[in-house]
Structure 1
Amino acid sequence: MTTAVDRLAPGDHICWTFRTDDERLTTMLEFVGAGLGAGEKVLCFTEEIAPRTLRSALADLGVDIEAAGARGQARFHTADASYLATGRFDAEAVLDGWHRQLAEARQEGYTGLRVIADMTWAARRPQVDGAERLAWYEARASRIFADAYATVVCMYDQRLFPGDRLRDIAAAHPAAVSPRTADDWHPQLRLVRTADPAGLCLIGEADRSCRDALEAVLAGLAEDLPTGGPVTVDVSRLAFADVGCAAALARTAGALPYGMRIVGASAALHRLLEMIGADAP
């Protein structure tokens, strides 16, 4: 049976909510197993489940987790040894760490990097300095992962995170999954930076539910894609865009030193861009 895990692709940065301990464990096992089976490097950040418990459960499923660990393909970390390694949540330091992890996986020759992280520490330990910046951090992480190399799942326990905070966190991801997700689920929005032409490809639907992620990726284009010409944003595979998406595109176009070319705009998006004074061919 095809699951939501099977529909993930490099570049996806997913807010994955759950309501039971079994849902958490099942998702982590499926994700790690799929990544190892695909020959990708896998990083698993766990909070409520001990690393040894996850390794044992994977071995019970027939995954040679000991061999994967010995060759460095699978690594398990706790929150205290990763997100909170300095005794606080230093968002900038964690973001810098992702750049290093991506570079290391590429240097080691892996076809991709898979990351799954149980973010329960942010609810269990809200007094941790910096935890209030979690949504800000997730939006900037979306920018880092838009290079279509890493597949990233951030797990949030619906029993612990207030609804309004969880909505803010979800909006910092291009897509979200919940236990109520339909069988035909696919990521709502995919943000993929392109090299030729230098720019960004938007795939799916863009509305307020993922706006913070979109705005963070757009805002970083000038730095992430240094070029002597206009940045190209391909929206030909964007099935829906609301006025907020159009406004974000217009703001970015005005901020980029050499401007922006928006290509493939639908008639509806073209009208929105015209309404706010932006142009799209």
Structure 2
Amino acid sequence: MKTISESILIKHTRHIRLGDHLCLPFASDVEQREVVSAYIADGLTRGERVLYYSDKTAPDAIDAWLDPRGIDGALAIARGQLEVRPAGETPFDPADLVDGIQHAIREARAAGFQGLRLTGEMSWALRSLPDTVRLHEYESGVASTVVESGDLAAICQYDERLFERADMTGLVARHTSVVCIDPLHDDRRLRIVPTFSPRGLKVTGTVDDATAGAFAGALAQAGGWTAAEPVIVLDLADLQFIDVAGIRAMVRFAESITPERKLQVRHLSPTLRKVLRIVGWDATPGLSFDGEPTC
């Protein structure tokens, strides 16, 4: 079954511009952190003001999110370029909330910023609203403000673990696109995108002498993920071709990770599985395949 985010248009964080009204339906805290931190960091770098409506995330946590991206979040907050406000503290009124966003746009302009990036954790709505009707009103108001102002980008964060799927489908449809993390590599031959449920990499295209280095580099980045994620899933369902150089990169990565971790390869073709068995690489420590134990 396709996820909600797979059923409509996708926009990667690096392509977000003022004028975009996007939805982030996420199912893991890691996905939320990676997408939102990239969005904030890009806006700060572009000279835009960033306004974060937080329901659960503290300002110091956002500072920690930005640190790996080379951004001093605390300094941005001190300078007034980044502001974290609590979400859902006042009685819900769609018109008042939209008026507040329009006021924030005017403030950003007056302060000399290039525009305003807005993002909010929508989990507050589950406490404040008896149904989603007024939430749809709010989303429509934000969408109109984005179009009319030209100086606003907005990401609405919806935790799929909290919202009903039927409600999510309609709410996502209020946005022009869903936002996803940038690929680790993307050219005409090979595309590698991080996944979050499960945590891993989705590989599309061709891995050969020309792209094996990029493939190995993406695996190395995955190896740097927190050890709290012991299984890294390598999804090869959309792989068109992989040669010996690519297989060797995969095997070497599996050999390099700690004994507590595994590289689980999914959708490897039967022909390639046979090749791995012939050369003995299927017994590589740290390497497992579809349906096999991961520990």
By the TM > 0.5 criterion, same fold?
yes
2:94 alignment partner in structure 1: 91
Question: 1:170: how far off?
Answer: 1.5
Structure 2 matches for 1:1-281, cutoff 5 A?
4-79=12-87, 84-86=88-90, 88-123=91-126, 125=127, 127-128=128-129, 132-146=133-147, 147-177=149-179
Give the stretch that moved more between structures: 88-97 or 45-54. 45-54
Partners of 1:132 and 1:78 in 2: CA distance: 22
Q: Hey, which bits of structure 1, 4+ residues long, moved more than 6 A? A: none
Q: Conserved in 2, the CA contact under 8 Å of 1:116 and 1:154?
A: yes
Aligned-pair Cα RMSD in Å: 2.6
Partners of 2:100 and 2:68 in 1: CA distance: 32
Q: Which of the pair has more CA radius of gyration?
A: 2
Runs of at least 5 residues in structure 1 that lack an aligned partner in the other structure: 185-281
The number of residues matched between the two structures is 175
Sort the Cα spacing of 1:93 and 1:129 in 2 relative to 1 into closer, same or farther, 3 A. Answer: farther
Partners of 1:57 and 1:16 in 2: CA distance: 17
Partners of 1:4 and 1:154 in 2: CA distance: 15
Partners of 1:68 and 1:169 in 2: CA distance: 31
Q: Conserved in 2, the CA contact under 8 Å of 1:43 and 1:116?
A: yes
Question: 1:129: how far off?
Answer: 6.1
Q: Conserved in 2, the CA contact under 8 Å of 1:10 and 1:150?
A: yes
| Matched-pair identity in % | 31
Render the CA deviation track for 1:90-115: whole Å, top value 9, x for unaligned: 11110111110111111111111111
Runs of at least 5 residues in structure 2 that lack an aligned partner in the other structure: 1-10, 187-295
Render the CA deviation track for 1:168-198: whole Å, top value 9, x for unaligned: 212222222468x9x98xxxxxxxxxxxxxx
Sort the Cα spacing of 1:178 and 1:31 in 2 relative to 1 into closer, same or farther, 3 A. Answer: closer
Sort the Cα spacing of 1:28 and 1:153 in 2 relative to 1 into closer, same or farther, 3 A. Answer: same
Instruction: Using structure 2 for the length normalisation, give the TM-score.
Output: 0.54
Residue 120 of structure 1 aligns to a residue whose secondary structure is helix
